[in-house]
Amino acid sequence: MTGHPHPTPAQLGPEPARPGADPTGSVPPQVRVDPDGPGDDEPRLHVGDVEVARYVVRPDLDPKHGPRPYLHPVRTLAGTPVTDALPADHVWHLGASLAVQDVAGTNLWGGRTYVRDTGYTWRDDHGVIAHTRWRERTPDRLAHVLQWRDRDGGVLLTEHRRLAASPVAPDAWALDVDYTLTAPTDRDVHLGSPATNGRPDGAGYGGFFWRAVADGEPVTFTADADGEQAANGSAARWVALTGVAPAGGAYTLVFTGLGLGDRWFVRTAMYPGVCVAFAFDRPAVVPAGGRRTGRHRVLVADGVRDRAGVVALLAAAEPV
């Protein structure tokens, strides 16, 4: 994942303003938007009166960057940013999002595609994950329907997604991400990763991915192990990532919710990121007419927590 030629964020230019959009992007309390109405393209999630995340629904991006809805910035309750988007090292990393590099041969992750016996190669195989319809929008919940499409607009998967924010403690909140991916009735849909396509070194990324932000290398640990090498590829019940944002402010992220067959993909040295990987070391399949469901929770806390502190956070959170 290093050494890929790509434009810098400066070369991409600023995101164009959307006519008629509310400059604050706020959603009036307790107002449910007409599910079929146009709505705001960048709704916010709130915990009480605090805005904790922006949801970029229709990003205006080069197809090579894997256009898809993503959360950014995500912040702690004290306002510390804990996501990064369009970073210079991997421009296609977009905050917190669902993305898979190989969906039946279509790259929905962005960047180069890993080709067996060749390596990373620029290919005209990029698709898009597109919002199609809102189902619910309130200050603390967003639910909508999406299509995972190939480069020609063909529907690979249909998705129902729900995002919810809830308080955990005075200095912590929880993001819940629930989704159901449904395959067409006439064919199986195979999900792959660079690892399943031949890349060594545990690069089985692709799934629910969180690109974090940190000044220096963050620290990662699980309930019984420490460091990137121990966490990467594991099936630990949870993974914690602690760091300090470049602008200041320490934070702790706790990831839970591996599905059957999922593994954690974790990076701290190359860049800070955690992924619920669908195809870490073997391809996954959504059978024809069948479904793949996921339910993940990320605890977002101010300050650096040790293992005991993470356990206390998990105990304070409502059961999933």
pLDDT digit string, tens, across residues 183-193: 999 999 999 99
φ, ψ (nearest 5 deg) of residue 64 = -70, -10
Look over the chain and give the mean of its residue pLDDT values, rounded to a whole number.
89
**CA–CA distance, 187 with 158 (Å, rounded to integer):** 13
Contacts for 154 with CB less than 8 Å, ≥ 6 apart? none
Helices (H) and strands (E) in the chain, counts: 3, 20
**32 confidence band (pLDDT: 50, 70, 90):** very low
At 92, the amino acid letter reads: W
Helices (H), 53-174: none
Looking at domain 32-316, which CATH architecture does it have? Distorted Sandwich (2.70)
Q: What is the pLDDT of residue 319?
A: 79
- Mean pLDDT, rounded, for 122-129: 98
3-state secondary structure (DSSP) of residue 108: coil
Contact between 258 and 238 (Cβ < 8 Å): no
Residue 46 pLDDT > 90, yes or no? yes
Contacts for 201 with CB less than 8 Å, ≥ 6 apart? none
Contact between 73 and 62 (Cβ < 8 Å): no
Instruction: Give the torsion through C-alpha atoms of 5, 11, 17, 22, to 10 deg.
Output: 70
Give the length of the chain: 320
**40 confidence band (pLDDT: 50, 70, 90):** low
pLDDT digit string, tens, across residues 203-227: 999 999 999 999 999 999 999 999 9
**CA–CA distance, 80 with 153 (Å, rounded to integer):** 38
With b for 16 or more beta-carbon neighbours within 10 A and e for fewer, the 283-296 pattern comes to ebebeeeeebebeb
pTM value? Answer: 0.88
pLDDT digit string, tens, across residues 274-299: 999 999 999 999 999 999 999 999 99
Contact between 296 and 231 (Cβ < 8 Å): no
**CA–CA distance, 285 with 278 (Å, rounded to integer):** 10
- CA-nearest of 249, 318, 196, 265 to 73 is 249
Q: What is the pLDDT of residue 70?
A: 98
How distant, in Å, are the alpha carbons of 23, 69, 234, 253 from that of 221? 39, 28, 11, 11
**CA–CA distance, 166 with 172 (Å, rounded to integer):** 9
**4 confidence band (pLDDT: 50, 70, 90):** very low
What ranges do the domains of the chain cover? Answer: 32-316
Q: What is the pLDDT of residue 8?
A: 35
Residue 36 pLDDT > 50, yes or no? no
